[in-house]
Structure 1
Amino acid sequence: MSALFYSLSPALLAAGTALMIIGSLAACILTMSQWFIHRRPLATGFLLSVAILLAFYTWGFAVTIINSQAGIFVLHDNYFGWFVVVCLGLGLALLRTTYRFAAGPLLVFLVALLPPIVGFGGKWILLAAGTFSTSWLCVQVWRELQLLLHDLSPFSIKEALDCPQHGALFADSRGHNKLVNSSMEGLLDSLNLTSLTRYETLASQLRQLATDKIVPAGFAGQGASKGGIGEVTSANFRINDPKGRTWILNRTQLADKGRFLTQMIALDVSKYMSLSQELSDEIESFQQRQKQLAQETARLEEALTKRLVLRTRSSIHDTISQRISFVHRFLEDGVADEERLGQLQDLLAKLPTDLSHDRAVIPAMVWLATLQDLASSAQLDLQISGDLPAEEDRALLFMQVLREGITNVLIHTTSSEMSVKMWEDAHSYWLEVSNPGVVTTTPSYGTGLSNLEARLEAAGGSLAILTTPSFTLRARLPRFR
């Protein structure tokens, strides 16, 4: 076989050396993947033997290039042939495993590298077998790369665990941390800890940093059984890191086919804690506003009650004063007419109904007609000119002024005449109630006039009382804009 190497031209020696170097590197990469990723001992041994075989050929080509006879003698054909047989034996054993689809074609190429076959076929068989072996090994390296990128493997699992923002750590029954994702590494680093620490020690250090210790006593493995794993299956506690984030750490014991693992999950609950605090603040603020609303409601009810009482008193005063004024006029006139006495009796009979009736629902025009009838019954010549305001609430206020005016005319004057004028200008409505008679008693601001003036002022208007040259009530109300 040494003569075969020396029969090759420098170009073929260089090409053969390059092929064997590439093949050796590819076989080494596949050896590491089969051991560290797939955990296949037989495939690892076979690929290691292939790497050694190709390294021998690389050595043979290299020493031939430098014309080293001593190097060629080291590659004794007999010993070299026996090593190829061992390599092929490992490959044949692989044909009974799932790796046979990758090892089968490689075995065909390696058979051609046997010294008898190489010696019979010559340099072209050697170069062809080396080319196909190296090519097939490179194809297998490419497939392994695709598996790492796309298929499920320990590396893909590690990559998947690095995606979530939550931390994850897995330790075996002996306390060795087998898998730690980047989030957990970051948390431990911020706490000046490391995942290289045994799990029992690491758990104890984390528990000392806990802000609220809700961890059972067996968390760190105390009182352990079955290879050092505690009897507690789940535990939780909270930790605050230097960055102000809050983490909830959960420890769970896992069992799989007689093997026991400890899983620690770190959940970043900073946002939830912040939202919880904001919700608590909002609830507290809502309760404060609710108390304020209750106080305001109580004050409003009190004000409405007072207003209702005042309105009721005013209504009672208006109604009773009206009836008293009519009775007073009847008595002064010495009424003996049966018809007028019947009218007086009817007014007094309707007094309870008028006191309980809701005057707010009676239209102003109805009030005006009613007051005209009452004036006629009291033999009061009531002359009305002008029109009521278009706004109903303004018209009702004017009716209150007219009613108060009729009452005061009947009580405080001796006249049987009364004139009412209503007009409006660009800004206000006006009502004037006057009586040409002599004022026998000076009118005072009692409940009737003071309440009437308060109502007009509340609506933005005013009330003026004149006693000379005649008794006059002049009311003003602003127009709606």
Structure 2
Amino acid sequence: MGYLFELDTPVIVALVVSFYVAAGGQLLHVLFLSTRRGARPFSLVKLYEVLLFVHLLLAAATANSVHSSYGVALFRLKAFSFPIESLLWIDAVAALLGLALAIAYRRPIMTSEIALMALITPPSIGMLGHLVPYLLIGDAAFFVFRVGAALTLDVRAGRRSVSRLSIIDSIRALPEGVICADDEGRILFMNESMRSCLTALGFAGDLAETRGVWDDLEEMANKAEGGADAVLPEGIRLEISPDETRLFMRDRVRLGHKEYRRMVAFDVTEEESINSDIERMNHFLDVANTELVAAVENAREVSRNEAILRMRSRVHDTVGQRLSILHRYLEDDDPDPEKLACVVDLARTVVEDLAEPDDIDAEGALRAIESSFSLVGIVISVEGPLPCRPEVAIAFVDVVREAATNAAKHGQAHRVDVRLGESSGCYTLSVQNDGPAALGEVHEGTGFPSMRQTLARVGGTLSIVSTSPFTIEAQAPCAPPHEGEDQ
């Protein structure tokens, strides 16, 4: 170590400054490692970095001894002094630990510092002789660079990673209010969000303990009439302001080896707004459901009434037709016994014909009408095809049946002429009989209203010409009415 005293003063001063700066930077690096959190255990890494800090302190003490012209390298601590050369065995421990870490973490970049640590040990210094000053200069230059690079990486890592300090800063910036206290109620931590909530509720801004705070919050919620305030199983909901609602919850949390009381105030303003909207929507749905039930019941009543009207119409048409045929047959001066069997069959099938079939064959029904009335000598002549719209064709057949029944019952007719056609976008129907002209005004009983109702369902109309020959005229549109139009 004696060769160090041959160095020039500026070089020695530079070494002293470099080693002290490097030692200070290394201490900051160790502190950064202590606050950093990660999955990898840092105990051995921290020990290695601490040994590097001790190495830099010893190097700084060595340079300072040379600068102070002690004549020997000493580590001075107030009244005590230790020969530095015997303390340099710490570098051997650091070199061995560094080698183990380099192998474990596969860090060949650590080779340079491990070599320097191994060279600055008592045996190596004894062998190097006059090269020791250059070794010390190289050591200072290397560790100034290493510490600077380590601090730069620490700053970058600190911006990306989570440390104890950054966790506290994050809690302070949380929108949720947080307060922690010990079992005696003394507040250990309270962020600004919780402080502003409690202040808005009337608590002191410099609140020092939490004893009685929860009971006061419960009392506020119980005294409130209406609104969002309520004591719930999960906590206490309070309206901080017209635009803010908070849910206060409490529990116990373990920090280190001790449990503490924690109270959190969650902002549930948006949830309350959504709940209010849901309640309004539920009320609207209840009202709509009530109206819908009433509408369905009304529709059922209308449907029942329509079914009754249809049955009444079918009873009138079917029974009236059969009775008219039977009446004409009985009035015949010379009834034909063979036709009697057919008339009896018509009477027997009245109940079957009253049933409303699922699929009505308009052509077949029209031929059946012709055949039935021919039994009593009434000829029904049909000219033209039935309409292409099935519902109009069925309606026209019903009109023909009712017109033929009226001709047989009231007109004493022997011939009924039916003309089917199409004109100006409408299907037309004309039914004439050769009975005598009506005397006076025609009284519409059940038959004519039934025919009008039948035609109205397909958008058609009915007109009567009571002069001789007695004529019933009907028309219905070729195209179905658009949805929403009155039929």
| TM-score, scaled relative to structure 1 | 0.72
CA distance in 2, matches of 1:303, 1:88: 113
Structure 2 residue matching 1:288: 3-state secondary structure = helix
Amino acid at match of 1:465: I
Name stretches of at least 5 consecutive residues in structure 2 with no aligned partner.
37-41, 102-112, 222-228, 481-487
Question: Cα gap change, 1:264/1:195 in structure 2, threshold over 3 Å: closer, same or farther?
Answer: farther
Question: Cα gap change, 1:325/1:18 in structure 2, threshold over 3 Å: closer, same or farther?
Answer: same
Alignment counterpart, residue 375 of structure 2, candidates 364, 374, 377: 377
Shift of residue 386, structure 1, vs aligned partner: 0.9
**Equivalent residue number for residue 405 of structure 2:** 407
Shift of residue 341, structure 1, vs aligned partner: 2.8
**Equivalent residue number for residue 294 of structure 1:** 293
Structure 1 residue matching 2:459: 3-state secondary structure = coil
**Equivalent residue number for residue 253 of structure 1:** 252
**Equivalent residue number for residue 282 of structure 1:** 281
Question: Cα gap change, 1:91/1:167 in structure 2, threshold over 3 Å: closer, same or farther?
Answer: farther
Shift of residue 324, structure 1, vs aligned partner: 2.4
CA distance in 2, matches of 1:93, 1:169: 48
Question: Cα gap change, 1:343/1:4 in structure 2, threshold over 3 Å: closer, same or farther?
Answer: closer
2:380 is equivalent to residue 362 of structure 1: no
CA distance in 2, matches of 1:85, 1:247: 67
Retained in 2: the 8 A contact 1:49–1:87?
no
Amino acid at match of 1:467: S
2:210 is equivalent to residue 200 of structure 1: yes
Structure 2 residue matching 1:286: 3-state secondary structure = helix
Amino acid at match of 2:360: I
Question: Cα gap change, 1:88/1:145 in structure 2, threshold over 3 Å: closer, same or farther?
Answer: farther
Retained in 1: the 8 A contact 2:65–2:74?
no
Amino acid at match of 1:276: N
Shift of residue 317, structure 1, vs aligned partner: 1.0
Shift of residue 19, structure 1, vs aligned partner: 1.4
Amino acid at match of 1:387: P
Deviations 1:375-427 (CA, angstroms, capped at 9, x unpaired): 21010122211111111111111111111111111122233122111111241
Structure 2 residue matching 1:249: 3-state secondary structure = strand
Structure 1 residue matching 2:230: 3-state secondary structure = coil
More displaced 10-residue stretch of structure 1: 239-248 or 156-165: 156-165
CA distance in 2, matches of 1:50, 1:411: 133
Retained in 1: the 8 A contact 2:383–2:420?
yes
**Equivalent residue number for residue 447 of structure 1:** 446
**Equivalent residue number for residue 460 of structure 1:** 459
Structure 1 residue matching 2:195: 3-state secondary structure = helix
Amino acid at match of 1:369: R
Retained in 1: the 8 A contact 2:22–2:147?
yes
Amino acid at match of 1:412: H
Retained in 2: the 8 A contact 1:43–1:94?
no
Question: Cα gap change, 1:32/1:346 in structure 2, threshold over 3 Å: closer, same or farther?
Answer: closer
CA distance in 2, matches of 1:194, 1:73: 64
Retained in 2: the 8 A contact 1:434–1:473?
yes
CA distance in 1, matches of 2:193, 2:432: 95
CA distance in 2, matches of 1:42, 1:422: 112
**Equivalent residue number for residue 220 of structure 1:** none
Amino acid at match of 1:371: I
**Equivalent residue number for residue 395 of structure 2:** 397
Alignment counterpart, residue 429 of structure 1, candidates 427, 430, 434: 427
CA distance in 1, matches of 2:43, 2:237: 38
Retained in 2: the 8 A contact 1:409–1:415?
yes
Aligned pairs, number: 445
Question: Cα gap change, 1:259/1:187 in structure 2, threshold over 3 Å: closer, same or farther?
Answer: closer
Taking the TM superposition and a 5 Å limit, the aligned residue runs for 1:44-443 are 80=76, 82-83=80-81, 124=134, 127-128=137-138, 130-132=140-142, 134-135=144-145, 137-138=147-148, 141=151, 148=158, 153-155=163-165, 157-158=167-168, 169-172=179-182, 184-189=191-196, 191-192=198-199, 198=208, 200=210, 203=213, 207=217, 211-213=229-231, 236-242=235-241, 244-255=243-254, 259-355=258-354, 357-359=355-357, 361-439=359-437, 443=442
Question: Cα gap change, 1:371/1:427 in structure 2, threshold over 3 Å: closer, same or farther?
Answer: same
Question: Cα gap change, 1:344/1:335 in structure 2, threshold over 3 Å: closer, same or farther?
Answer: farther
Retained in 1: the 8 A contact 2:92–2:121?
no
CA distance in 2, matches of 1:197, 1:86: 55
Deviations 1:22-60 (CA, angstroms, capped at 9, x unpaired): 225315525755887799999999999889878878989
**Equivalent residue number for residue 68 of structure 1:** none
Shift of residue 456, structure 1, vs aligned partner: 1.4
Question: Cα gap change, 1:137/1:387 in structure 2, threshold over 3 Å: closer, same or farther?
Answer: closer
Name stretches of at least 5 consecutive residues in structure 1 with no aligned partner.
65-71, 216-234
Deviations 1:148-196 (CA, angstroms, capped at 9, x unpaired): 567775246557768986555554556566666xxx5434346548998
CA distance in 2, matches of 1:333, 1:372: 19
| TM-score, scaled relative to structure 2 | 0.71
Retained in 2: the 8 A contact 1:465–1:474?
yes
Amino acid at match of 1:287: D
Retained in 2: the 8 A contact 1:53–1:84?
no
Question: Cα gap change, 1:256/1:168 in structure 2, threshold over 3 Å: closer, same or farther?
Answer: closer
CA distance in 2, matches of 1:9, 1:404: 137
Shift of residue 352, structure 1, vs aligned partner: 2.6
**RMSD (Å) for aligned C-alpha atoms:** 5.1
Deviations 1:181-240 (CA, angstroms, capped at 9, x unpaired): xxx54343465489985452695598377643459xxxxxxxxxxxxxxxxxxx733344
CA distance in 2, matches of 1:93, 1:246: 62
Percentage of matched positions with identical amino acids: 21
Shift of residue 460, structure 1, vs aligned partner: 1.8
Shift of residue 461, structure 1, vs aligned partner: 1.4
CA distance in 2, matches of 1:332, 1:345: 15
Structure 2 residue matching 1:468: 3-state secondary structure = coil
Retained in 1: the 8 A contact 2:250–2:263?
yes
Structure 1 residue matching 2:413: 3-state secondary structure = coil
CA distance in 1, matches of 2:303, 2:341: 40
Deviations 1:239-273 (CA, angstroms, capped at 9, x unpaired): 44448344433322245785223344444444443
CA distance in 1, matches of 2:164, 2:246: 27
Retained in 2: the 8 A contact 1:432–1:474?
yes
CA distance in 2, matches of 1:75, 1:176: 59
CA distance in 2, matches of 1:185, 1:155: 17
Retained in 1: the 8 A contact 2:88–2:121?
no
CA distance in 1, matches of 2:75, 2:426: 129
